[in-house]
Structure 1
Amino acid sequence: MVSMRGASSFRLRLLLSALSGKPIIINSIRASDSTSEPGLAAHEVSFLRLIERLSAGSVVEISEDGTAVKYVPGVLVGGANLNHDCSAVKGSRAAGYFVEPLLLLMPFCKRPTSVSLRNVATCGGGVDVSMDHVRMAMLPLVRHALTAPVVGGDDPPDVRVEVSTRCPWPHARGEVTVSCSGVVKTTLPRSVDLADEGQVKRVRGIAWAVDVSPGLATRCATAAKGIFLNVLSDVYVFTDHTATKGAIHTRTPGFGIALCCETTAGGRVVFELDATTMSAGGDSGLATGGALPEEVGRAAASACIDQVARGGVVDHACQPMLLTLAALGPQELARARIGPITAPATRTLRLLDDVLGVRFRLRPQVGTKTLFVSCVGAGVRNQGRKAT
């Protein structure tokens, strides 16, 4: 039994417990927090229920005041056409809160899995990553770990994220489907090997608009391309417009953009911004937060370039997932290069040591101001797969 305190890294604690088979108990969850209600939040309870649906034989015990949780993992079974209602988390978390751990859980299930998340925002409003960020940066990381380095053999599991209904923050009327066509046989077939940053070779992006004029997405994309075309020619930003059918009170207006800088070594640095979360002075007359499309596009492009300048094969939001994949991989050397380490990544390093016993070696690179991280994977096995 692994004992922990506090509410930080709640998802990762449950994720590592489910994959390693080690029971955990978490005490003092917001017990002395004067800024919020004590105990589990609605999104944390919803995530617990989602983990229960994916597994068989798991045990969840919550104290009366909600400040203590005991979780005994079962067998990750998975299954097709599972539905999960996220309406209880409206205004607190977005779809990214659930999708990130699902990408790591699904390949270790007993059978192929498909989960539809309903009544949820598809962009995080600065709290969680959007589905565009997941598809541009996180999915390639997971596919890298699921693809065997040797050509031939069985096809790797295909992990996909599909946005059926786009919905901006803070509304909760979107729908996202996460699916995994197969499972890993024993352990992840490949250790993380992303030590080389490379040079930026192209920029891809998507500018979206929901229940507003399609021209807002076009203006946003044009402004972002104007920044990148000064230094790079291979720049494409696509546009996506969604119009909600129904009464006016059911509409969820908003627009934003997600940009991805791809490098010659396979690195992906993503930055996203939407009109609701951007702080812009003045009143533009728009019902989407007051920011002009040109301001959103230029700010997103400038911030994406700043992320690239900081170094690393991934952006700061993907650091925890990169480190987790390295620790879950086979018992081989895993290595990667990241930019300045973030607070969530630091908590991830400590938690991986506590649960899996994996310790990372961090070596600062003076010339590039990056960190070279390396470890030997824990070789986490798929415990639910049938023995043959």
Structure 2
Amino acid sequence: MGKISYMKLKGSQNLRQRLLLATLSSTPILIEDIRADATWPGLLPHEVSFLRLLETVSDDCHVEINETGTKLKYKPGIVMGGRYLEHDCGLSRSIGYFLEPLIVLGLFGKKPLSIKLKGITNDPKDPSVDTFRSATLPLLKRFGVPSEGLELKIESRGVAPKGGGEVTLSVPIIHNSLKAVTWTDEGMVKRIRGISFSTRVSVQFENTMIHAARGIFNRLLPDVHIYTDHKAGAQAGNSPGYGISLVAETTSGCFVSVDTTISYTRGNDDMDIDERKELMPPEEVGEEIASLLLGEIEQGGVIDSTHQGLLFLLCALCPQDISKVRVGKLVPYGIQTLRNIRDFLGVKFVIKPEPATGTVMLKCIGCGLKNLSRKLS
């Protein structure tokens, strides 16, 4: 065995994405100074949980963390995939935090992936499981991911702080590589779909949110359907909460999504739930989410701002062919993703702002990542 050379990185930012790119590009990494000066130094619970998840879906990956958690050595293994896997995502971040990298990894596995994830299904910080189902999975199909075997089932919902949700994710493997895309026409919005949910509160909360959101949309568009998903008993998780997820579908097959969740947060004393805080009334939630969706549509581009990072990553993983996409204003996560792609995959994007439309056109030649770990028949 020769000496392993590690790519040296510093700080805690974009840890999840760095680990994902390290795995895809088989690059061992050494990250130092992880929150070295913070009150609680080192890796946070959800970051450790994500490392455990990488160990679950891959074989022969090696993780070393020092005592304070401020230094991490990671040597990626082979992504195996497999069925009947399970992972508890914990309660410090929602399942959405784990889903994005997991979907990409699953495509390059040895076997199709089927995994049960437990934890928080909806929270304000990460995209909700509904958004993944209605906007993220259709995005993958653009890149030639087969729709058979690609699904996300919501078994039960759970909001912060006590979670209790459960979803099952299935991801097929790609048989060689993704497909490069030219995707620049966002089209016109033809319909709006959505789903509202409530756990351990009255179903009336959902009806009020839907009524408020439709009040805004119906002035602009006749085809608006927002479904209700009221959970009770064991399927309602362990905490009260409600929320709504909306998707605008365009004439050219683009999906623009937003979502929000209202629930109690933890108080200052970590285990103490701050129920003194008034929750936002459902009527305001409905109006606010409708305005957010209109804002995303106004920005232009073929996807919404939360999906920028994933879109760029998929373009970079394509064969050595040109991919061309149009997005609205670049968000910090999207910009950081472009930097990480350059560092790990050596793929650079040509970025051309278009002042007339306020959008940005990006072009790149993919790194040609092939699924080498799949079983060759």
Equivalent position SS for 1:314: coil
Q: Deviations over 1:243-271 (max 9, x none)?
A: 1249x9x7421111111111112221111
- Tell me which residue corresponds to 2:262: 275
- Tell me which residue corresponds to 1:195: 184
How does 1:82-231 map onto structure 2 within 5 Å?
82-87=85-90, 90=91, 92-118=92-118, 120-124=119-123, 126-147=124-145, 158-180=149-171, 182-188=172-178, 190-231=179-220
- Tell me which residue corresponds to 2:46: 43
- Tell me which residue corresponds to 1:232: 221
Q: 1:277 to 1:251 in 2, by over 3 A?
A: closer
Q: Deviations over 1:10-54 (max 9, x none)?
A: 111111111111111111111123xx4111111111110110111
Equivalent position SS for 1:324: helix
Whole-angstrom distance in 2 between the partners of 1:116 and 1:307: 31
- Tell me which residue corresponds to 1:367: 356
Whole-angstrom distance in 1 between the partners of 2:199 and 2:276: 11
Q: 1:298 to 1:287 in 2, by over 3 A?
A: farther
Equivalent position SS for 1:146: coil
Letter in 1 for 2:34: I
Letter in 2 for 1:77: M
Whole-angstrom distance in 1 between the partners of 2:100 and 2:168: 13
- Tell me which residue corresponds to 1:11: 16
Letter in 2 for 1:166: R
Equivalent position SS for 2:106: helix
- Tell me which residue corresponds to 2:336: 347
Whole-angstrom distance in 2 between the partners of 1:146 and 1:187: 9
Letter in 2 for 1:167: G
Tell me the TM-score normalised to structure 1 length: 0.89
1:277 deviates by 8.1
How does 1:281-360 map onto structure 2 within 5 Å?
289-360=278-349
Question: Is residue 256 from structure 1 mapped to residue 243 from structure 2 by the alignment?
Answer: yes
- Tell me which residue corresponds to 2:60: 57
Whole-angstrom distance in 2 between the partners of 1:79 and 1:158: 13
Letter in 2 for 1:3: K
Q: 1:200 to 1:99 in 2, by over 3 A?
A: same
Query: Residues 103 and 159 of structure 1 are in contact (CA less than 8 Å); yes or no, is this contact kept in structure 2?
Result: no
Equivalent position SS for 1:262: strand
Whole-angstrom distance in 1 between the partners of 2:245 and 2:81: 31
Query: Residues 107 and 157 of structure 1 are in contact (CA less than 8 Å); yes or no, is this contact kept in structure 2?
Result: no
- Tell me which residue corresponds to 1:30: 35
Whole-angstrom distance in 2 between the partners of 1:361 and 1:335: 9
Whole-angstrom distance in 2 between the partners of 1:227 and 1:66: 48
Query: Residues 330 and 380 of structure 1 are in contact (CA less than 8 Å); yes or no, is this contact kept in structure 2?
Result: yes
Whole-angstrom distance in 1 between the partners of 2:262 and 2:21: 35
Equivalent position SS for 1:208: strand
Whole-angstrom distance in 2 between the partners of 1:212 and 1:349: 42
Whole-angstrom distance in 2 between the partners of 1:385 and 1:308: 39
- Tell me which residue corresponds to 1:74: 77
Query: Residues 120 and 157 of structure 2 are in contact (CA less than 8 Å); yes or no, is this contact kept in structure 1?
Result: yes
Equivalent position SS for 2:64: strand
Whole-angstrom distance in 1 between the partners of 2:242 and 2:316: 37
Q: 1:251 to 1:44 in 2, by over 3 A?
A: closer
Q: 1:289 to 1:130 in 2, by over 3 A?
A: farther
1:193 deviates by 2.6
For the aligned residue pairs, the C-alpha RMSD in angstroms reads 2.0
Quote the sequence identity (%): 40
Letter in 2 for 1:373: L
| Structure 2 unaligned residues grouped into runs of 5+ | 1-5, 266-274
Whole-angstrom distance in 1 between the partners of 2:332 and 2:353: 17
Whole-angstrom distance in 2 between the partners of 1:22 and 1:348: 17
Query: Residues 25 and 68 of structure 1 are in contact (CA less than 8 Å); yes or no, is this contact kept in structure 2?
Result: yes
Whole-angstrom distance in 1 between the partners of 2:234 and 2:348: 52
1:300 deviates by 0.7
Equivalent position SS for 1:31: coil
1:66 deviates by 1.2
Letter in 2 for 1:129: P
Whole-angstrom distance in 2 between the partners of 1:173 and 1:46: 16
Return 103-112 or 192-201, whichever deviates more.
192-201
Q: 1:326 to 1:253 in 2, by over 3 A?
A: same
Q: Number of paired residues? A: 363
| Structure 1 unaligned residues grouped into runs of 5+ | 148-154, 279-285
1:287 deviates by 9.3
